[in-house]
Structure 1
């Protein structure tokens, strides 16, 4: 394997303005891929693109609200227009709003379904034909679709009912899509982290955020770069290898 196993490949990463998405974009660029950075915060995207350029990589900022189907399609088309193809899609964009059903709002539930489920479906639907084409025409002879899930998709807890619903649904979608695309040489994988030090908890109410921070206070939380390493491992395997699912917990995490 070359020093840059993704040399010549094109990746699209959603939620790339911070956290796991930004770390993944940097890591894939380090492996040789050109990266389309998709998110809503243009200033953050420009900063990540600048960071990648300083390290000798190439990235383009694609400002888009992919909860809107047309904007998701535009984001994929923008990637193709500017970078020429699409070999890797990382569906990372998501939001976590934790509250008991009695004390939450329907708007919070709708926000999670809109970004965690609908946006993922929009971008995936737009990208799959191009991933299939890349798998049949690229030197790698394989393409990759990686969905960032959560341990909440395996084990539900109080206060996380709809968040768990979105992630368990993501897992089911990923497995079905994996089987559908086997013959097309598009590998479909799920990465399920827990206890990662990101901005995700910033969207919580003060009480819930404090409780979440107390829960992980006694452990060394995962870093975004740890999840980026896992995604990099998945997409840099030889075509004969498919990593279908990866569960990642902090080393001290008991739950």
Structure 2
């Protein structure tokens, strides 16, 4: 598969310190994309930049908390100062904290809403003007949001997480009506069971055990599988928008 069309583009990837964000940043950089890496863990980002540069790529570490508007504003300024306009945005930052709603874990609810929904919106607000300007100039412009199969299929104890992902899926659908006519592509990706650090956020021993059992039974996807899909999607001709992709392990119904 040729990803030659990616060469020379400039991307912002959130959640780049691990999982799907890190895998996507690595793959894009390997195909000639300048990648701004946004995440909270500065040390992890610095290590990733070193790895990408050692492989001949270009990357910029930008410690960012997507739940903090001032942090996002500062990151936007830094990216623009270093790279100018961005033409590819990947919203990969996310947090999954399952527990019964009856537990009333409002701190977890707020964290998921702030990261999975409001965090994505802050990044969209910051870089959509770039995407529109690039498209108006005849370039290819992409916004990719990583949602979840949980946006459609209910899982016990994942109600709030699923609701945040349903919001992101709907947001992507609605944004296509605003940005599509301006030649900006919006892609929503909904992975099923995928091996990332999200599972490590689960502090409920019973639910963590259920996840481990699912990985054993279903042979979950890897973060690299999702990165490959993102690279494929964003390397198509600019008039082609792979708008929605649900990607599951073959054994997951």
For Structure 1 versus Structure 2, the TM-score category normalised by the shorter chain is over 0.9
Query: How many angstroms does 1:218 deviate by?
Result: 1.2
In structure 2, the residue matched to 1:147 is: 145
Q: TM-score, normalization: structure 2? A: 0.96
Q: How does 1:150-161 map to 2 (within 5 A)?
A: 150-161=148-159
Q: Distance in 1 between matches of 2:153 and 2:2?
A: 39
- What's the RMSD between the two structures over aligned residues? 1.4
C-alpha separation between the residues in 2 aligned to 1:62 and 1:10?
14
Tell me whether 1:242 sits opposite 2:241 in the alignment: yes
SS at match of 2:218: coil
> Unmatched 5+ residue regions in structure 1?
none
> C-alpha deviations, 1:142-177, integer Å up to 9, x for none?
200000000000111210110011000101110110
- Secondary structure of the corresponding residue to residue 216 of structure 1: helix
CA shift digits 1:182-235 (9 cap, x unpaired): 121110010100111111011101222112111221121111000000111111
Post-superposition CA distance 1:4-38 (Å, at most 9, x none):
32222100000000010000001111121100000
Instruction: Measure, in 2, the Cα distance between the counterparts of 1:207 and 1:15.
Output: 26
Paired positions, count: 252
1:71-129 per-residue CA deviation (whole Å, 9 max, x = no partner) reads 21222221111112200000000000111112251101111001001111111111110
Q: TM-score, normalised by structure 1?
A: 0.95
Unmatched runs of 5 consecutive residues or more in structure 2: none
- The aligned residue for residue 173 of structure 1 is 171
- Distance in 2 between the 1:137 and 1:2 partners? 24
Q: Is the 8 A contact 2:183 2:239 kept in 1?
A: no
